[in-house]
Amino acid sequence: MYVISLGGSLIVKKEINVEFLRKFRNFILNYLKKGKKFIIVVGGGKTARKYQLGAKKLKIKSKNDLDRLGITVTKLNAYLVYLLFKKYSFPQIIDNPQKNINFKEKILIACGWKPGFSTDYVATFLAKKYKAKFVINLTNVDYVYVKRKKRKIGVKTLSWDEYLRIIPKKWRPGLFSPFDPVASQLAKRFKIKCIILNGNNLSLLKEFLEKGVVRGTLIG
Ligand code: UTP
């Protein structure tokens, strides 16, 4: 069982990223044939941020409301991803990972849950629940980057404490962070590792699934 946190940034660029979604579908179907199972937690990405920005301009100030707006976008994206895998997927999109679901299908699709964090938190929660050791965070960067002498350097491994030191401490709606701080605290507590991989190059995911090689950043 693999848990994937699928960044919304991969699903929608300027338009719906049909090319990525087609490749992702074929990629996953190929691994279903090999007996693998997936939990795919779908993010809201740029679309969520656009809505949140619009709402802020309209003087909507409540952080909870902005988060709920973001969650609604994750549901929209999750529905599209669900449709790609309808034949193989549990027939409901999980919007509350606390619910006990005994699924026999090969895929479970989840979306955002509640204010205060991103879908990374949902992915971490589900990883613990279904006993996965990793959350695979498919995103649109190659690595977690750190600043050293004014240069940005991609790092291959970080402990949770090292990672938590370089990202913002506090949650806010639409926060940019390769893996969100609240989810990171949870993953640290649960001793779950996170693998940051660029989803635009699915051969990286292939290398991880087949050889356990991380060509991205391994946290934890
Ligand atoms: P995402 O999980 O998409 O955040 O949720 P993200 O940082 O944009 O991640 P990528 O780019 O998809 O990987 C979008 C927004 O929805 C709200 C938050 O405001 C978040 O910024 N949200 C999402 C929640 O409040 N709770 C959730 O459980 C999920």
SS3 labels along 136-205: EEEECCCCEEEEECCEEEEECEECHHHHHHHCCCCCCCCCCCCCCHHHHHHHHHHCCEEEEEECCCHHHH
Mean pLDDT along residues 80-104: 97
- Give distance in angstroms: CA of 71 to centre of ligand 1: 7
Query: Would you say the CB of residue 181 lies under 6 angstroms from ligand 1?
Result: no
Q: What tokens appear for 40 in the block?
A: 């795919």
Whether the Cβ atoms of residue 122 and residue 110 lie closer than 8 Å to each other? yes
Mean pLDDT along residues 133-153: 94
pLDDT tens-digit series, residues 11-43? 999 999 999 999 999 999 999 999 999 999 999
Task: Write the class of the CATH domain 2-219.
Answer: alpha beta
Q: What tokens appear for 194 in the block?
A: 């996170």
pLDDT tens-digit series, residues 51-86? 999 999 999 999 999 999 999 999 999 999 999 999
- Give distance in angstroms: CA of 45 to centre of ligand 1: 7
The atom number, within ligand 1, closest to the CA of 176 reads 7
**Average pLDDT of the residues of the chain:** 97
Q: Which of 32-36, 146-150, 199-203, 209-213 is predicted least confidently?
A: 146-150
Buried b / exposed e along 123-156 (16+ C-beta atoms within 10 A): bbbbbbbbebebbbbbbbbbbbeeeeeeeeeebe
Q: How confident is the model at residue 150 (pLDDT cuts 50, 70, 90)?
A: confident
The atom number, within ligand 1, closest to the CA of 8 reads 12
pLDDT tens-digit series, residues 159-195? 999 999 999 999 999 999 999 999 999 999 999 999 9
- Give distance in angstroms: CA of 33 to centre of ligand 1: 31
Query: Would you say the CB of residue 178 lies under 6 angstroms from ligand 1?
Result: no
- pLDDT at residue 148 above 90? no
Tell me, what's the pLDDT at 4? 98
Q: What tokens appear for 119 in the block?
A: 């879908």
Q: How confident is the model at residue 217 (pLDDT cuts 50, 70, 90)?
A: very high
- Give distance in angstroms: CA of 153 to centre of ligand 1: 25
Query: Would you say the CB of residue 218 lies under 6 angstroms from ligand 1?
Result: no
CA quadruple 187, 80, 53, 98: dihedral sign: negative
